[in-house]
Amino acid sequence: MELKKVIIENFRNIVHAEYDLTSRSIFAGPNRKGKTNTILAIYWALTDLLLDGSSDYQSFKPGYIEETEVSVELVCDTFTLKKVYKGWRPRQQGSGDPGDLQHTTDYWIDGTKYKTQGEAKRALLKLLGTDQQLETSKFDLTRALIDPYYIGQGCDYKTLRSFVVEIIGDVSNEDVFAADPVLLMIRDLMARYQYDPGLAQKFVKQQVAAVKKDIEASEQQVKGLESVQDVDPILFKKAQDSIVQIDKQIEGLQVQLSGKDNPQVNEAKLKLSDLTLKLAESRTKDMEAVQEHNRQIEAEISRLQKVQQDAEQQAQDLIRRKISAENAILGNDQKIVSIEQQIEDLEARRQDRLQEYHARSAEEYMLPESQKEVCPNCGHVLNLEALESYRSAWEANKQRDLDYIVRQGKQLNNDIENLRFKIEELRKGKASSEENLPLIKQEIRSFETEAQQAQDSVGQLRKQLTDIVDSERTTALKESVKEAQDNYDNLIKAQQASVEEVQGEIKRLKAETLQHHGVLDYHVAYMVTQKKAEAMRNQIKTKEDTLIDFEQQSILVDRFLEIKLGLFQRRISGVFGDRVQFTLIKYNLKKGSWDEVCYPSVLDKNTPFEDGSGSEKILTGIYLAECVKRHLGLGDLPYIFDECDKLDTASLAAIPTQAQIITTKVDDVNYNKVTLISA
C-alpha cells in the first residue's frame, strides 16, 4: 500500500493542509511549524495512536478547544480513509448547563461511513493486510510495519518475546535434551522446576552453599581433633619400660614379703590392673562425651538463634500491619468527619430548597386592574380571554419551577443517602480494623515472647558448654582403683606387717607407676581421638563427592540454557538473518539468576537497540519490519518516523525497502514553513 495524498483539518497547529505524497516524502522546515504534527496525523489515522504509543486525543485539537472537529483523510492507491474526531458537552435537562465531555471518532472508508469503530477498524486492518490472528494479542502488527521504533523499544519485552517465539517457533525441552544427551542427567531436576533454568540454578547453588558450609564445619571439627597432641614417643616408651620394671620390683618385694605366691595377693593385683585399664577407657569416653555434648549444645544454640530471628521477623511484619490498621482507623475517622460535614451542607441546601418550594407554592397570581379592558357602556371585560391566557402561562411557569425544585430536593436526598452509606461502610472498616488490632498486638507479644525465650535459652545453653570433667563412672572407677590399691596394700601388709621398709618401698613404687600409667592413658585417649578424626575425614570425602555432583548439575543447567538459547538464535536467524541478534535471557548479577528479556541489537553490532544511535535505530527497525513482512507474507506499508536528519542522504536513499517512507527533517535554512520534498 502507498499513500498518494493526505488532507488534514484542525490537527494541533495545522488548520488546513494538503499534500501529494511520493515514495520518499520528507516534510522539511523549522521547528514548531507542524512537521511532526503532519506525520502524527497520518500515524493516528492508521493506528489510533501517537508515535509514542499514547492516545491523548485532547492534544489533537488546536489550543485544546474541546468542541473542535479534527479530521484526517488519506488517499491510498487501493482505498481512501477519512477519520473525524469531535467532542461536545451535551446540555443538561432543566438547567441547560453543559454536561460531561463526550467524543466520537467516525470512519469513512471509500466514502462509506461505518456504524461502529470496531467494525471500521476490522475493515481497515483487512485493507492494510495486518488482520492476521496472532496468539500474541497485545502485539500491534500494524505499528510494527510502519514504525521503525516499535519492535526495538515500542512494546514491552513480554509482548515482543511472545511474538518472536510465535513466528520463529518454540524450542521444546526435548529438543535441548536431544542436542546434548549429557543433559539427561538433570532431566528430573529441570522437571521439578518446570524447566526454568533460573529456579533450577538457584536450588543447585543453595545446595552447593549448604554442602560447602557443612564441609567447613566438619573440617573445623577435624582440625580440633587433630590439634590433640600425642605423648612424646620416647616418653611413652620410657613409661612402658618403667611400668614393667616397677611391676617386677613390686612382685619381687611381695614375694619377699610373703615367702611364696599368695593367690589372694595375686587376685587383688589382677583386679587393680583391670580397674586401672577401665579407668583409662572411662576417661577417654568422658572426653568424647564432653565434645559431643558441646557440639549438640552449639547445634541447639544455632537452632534457637534461627527461631529468635524468625520470631523477630514475624513480629516486625505484624508491627507493620498494626501501624497500617491504626492508620486506617485514623484515616476513616477523618473521612467520616469530612462526609458528615458534606451531609450537613447538603441538609442545609435541602432545607433551602424546601423553603424555596413553600415560598413559590404560596405565591398567587395577581392581575393588576390596569390590564383589564372594560366596555364603558356595559362593563364587560373585553380582553378576558387574553387575561386567562396570561394566568395559565403564569401558573404553568409556577408548576415548572416547583417541579424543578422537587427534582433538586430528590437529588439532594439521594446524595445524602449515598454519603450516609459511605459513612456506614467506613465505620464497618474502622470496626474491622479495631477488631483485628488487639489480635495483631497479641500476636506481636507472642512472637516477641518467643524471641525472648529463645534468646534466654541460648544464654542458658552457653552456660552448659563445659570442659572435660570426670563422669560418675570415672569418679567411681577412681574410688574403685583406690579401694583395690588399698586392698592390695593391706594384703601385702597383712603378709608382712613387720617388714615396714619393704612395704614402704612397694608404696613408693606404686606411686611412681601411677605417673607412668597417666602417660599411657593420655596415649590411649589420643588414639581414640585420631580414630574419630579419620571417620570424619571419610565423611568429608563423601560430602565433597556430593558437592562435585551439585557443581556438575550447575554446569549442566547453564549448558541447558546455553543450548536452548542457541537453538532459539538459529530459529531467529532463519527469520531475521544474522545482522540482528535478539537477547532473550540476561544474567542478573544482584539476584544471581537468569531473567527473561527480549530486545534486539542494532544492525551488525552487539549494541542493544535502545543504546543505538538515531540512524542505527531507524535502519534496524526497517530491517526488522522487512523480515517480519517477508516471513508472514505481508505487503508493504509506509514507514512513518520523525527526524530523518538522523540519517545522512546516502543512508536514507539506501534503505533496503520498496515501501514508501514518510518522515520529517529540520531545515530552517532553506524553508520557513513546512514543505514536502522528495529524497
Question: CA gyration radius for the chain?
Answer: 50
At 142, the pLDDT band (50, 70, 90 cuts) reads very high
At 496, the pLDDT band (50, 70, 90 cuts) reads low
Q: How far apart are CA 470 and CA 521, in angstroms?
A: 14
pLDDT exceeds cutoff 70 at 63? no
Nearest to 7 by CA among 108, 143, 104: 108
pLDDT exceeds cutoff 90 at 504? no
pLDDT exceeds cutoff 90 at 439? no
pLDDT exceeds cutoff 80 at 179? yes
**Phi-psi sector, 143: left (phi>0), alpha (psi -120 to 50), beta:** alpha
User: Helices marked H in 87-135 — which ranges?
Assistant: 117-128
Q: How far apart are CA 318 and CA 441, in angstroms?
A: 8
pLDDT exceeds cutoff 60 at 418? yes
> 514-548: buried (b, 16+ CB within 10 Å) or exposed (e) per residue?
eebbebbbbbebbebbeebbeeeeeebeebeeebe
pLDDT exceeds cutoff 60 at 259? no
Q: How far apart are CA 333 and CA 539, in angstroms?
A: 65
Q: How far apart are CA 282 and CA 13, in angstroms?
A: 102
The three three-digit cell numbers of residue 502, written as one number: 619393704
Question: pLDDT tens, 614-651?
Answer: 999 999 999 999 999 999 999 999 999 998 778 877 77
Cross-strand bridge partners of residue 98: 91
Mean pLDDT value of segment 420-425: 88
Mean pLDDT value of segment 1-30: 94
The answer to whether 167 and 575 are in contact (CB under 8 A) is: yes
Nearest to 49 by CA among 146, 133, 123: 146
Q: How far apart are CA 332 and CA 437, in angstroms?
A: 15
Where does CATH 3.40.50 sit in the chain? 3-140+629-678
CA angle 531, 534, 538 (to 5 degrees): 140
Mean pLDDT of the chain: 86
The answer to whether 408 and 353 are in contact (CB under 8 A) is: yes
pLDDT exceeds cutoff 90 at 148? yes
The DSSP call for residue 74 is E
Mean pLDDT value of segment 484-493: 80
What pLDDT does 224 receive? 86
**In which residue are the cell numbers 517512507 written?**
661
> What's the CATH fold of domain 3-140+629-678?
Rossmann fold (3.40.50)
Q: How far apart are CA 202 and CA 190, in angstroms?
A: 12
The answer to whether 594 and 204 are in contact (CB under 8 A) is: no
pLDDT exceeds cutoff 60 at 497? no
Mean pLDDT value of segment 89-118: 83
User: Helices marked H in 377-471 — which ranges?
Assistant: 384-464
At 262, the pLDDT band (50, 70, 90 cuts) reads low
What φ, ψ does residue 579 adopt, rounded to 5°? -80, -20
pTM of model > 0.85 = no
Close Cβ partners of 105 (under 8 Å, ≥ 6 residues apart): 48, 83, 84, 85, 117
Higher-pLDDT residue of 323 and 57 is 323
What pLDDT does 591 receive? 62
- DSSP states of 1-28 as a string? --EEEEEEEEETTEEEEEEE--SEEEEE
What pLDDT does 79 receive? 96
pLDDT exceeds cutoff 80 at 60? no
| 270-361+387-469 belongs to CATH 1.10.3470 | no
The answer to whether 9 and 646 are in contact (CB under 8 A) is: no
2-16, 34-48, 103-117, 575-589, range with the lowest pLDDT: 575-589
What pLDDT does 593 receive? 63
End-to-end CA distance of the chain, in Å? 19
Close Cβ partners of 642 (under 8 Å, ≥ 6 residues apart): 35, 36, 39, 51, 663, 664
Higher-pLDDT residue of 280 and 111 is 111
128-137, 354-363, 368-377, 508-517, range with the lowest pLDDT: 368-377
Q: How far apart are CA 81 and CA 21, in angstroms?
A: 15
The answer to whether 353 and 405 are in contact (CB under 8 A) is: yes
**In which residue are the cell numbers 357602556 written?**
377
**Phi-psi sector, 259: left (phi>0), alpha (psi -120 to 50), beta:** left
The answer to whether 461 and 297 are in contact (CB under 8 A) is: yes
What pLDDT does 643 receive? 81
pLDDT exceeds cutoff 70 at 256? no
What pLDDT does 229 receive? 83
At 541, the pLDDT band (50, 70, 90 cuts) reads very high
What pLDDT does 91 receive? 72
Burial of 487 (0-12, 13-18, 19+ CB in 10 A): middle
- DSSP states of 459-498 as a string? HHHHHH-------HHHHHHHHHHHHHHHHHHHHHHHH-TT
- DSSP states of 588-646 as a string? ETTTTEEEEEEEEBPTTS-SBGGGS-HHHHHHHHHHHHHHHHHHHT-----EE-S-GGG
Burial of 450 (0-12, 13-18, 19+ CB in 10 A): middle
Mean pLDDT value of segment 593-606: 86
- Residue 103: how many other CB atoms lie within 10 Å: 12
158-172, 227-241, 664-678, range with the lowest pLDDT: 227-241
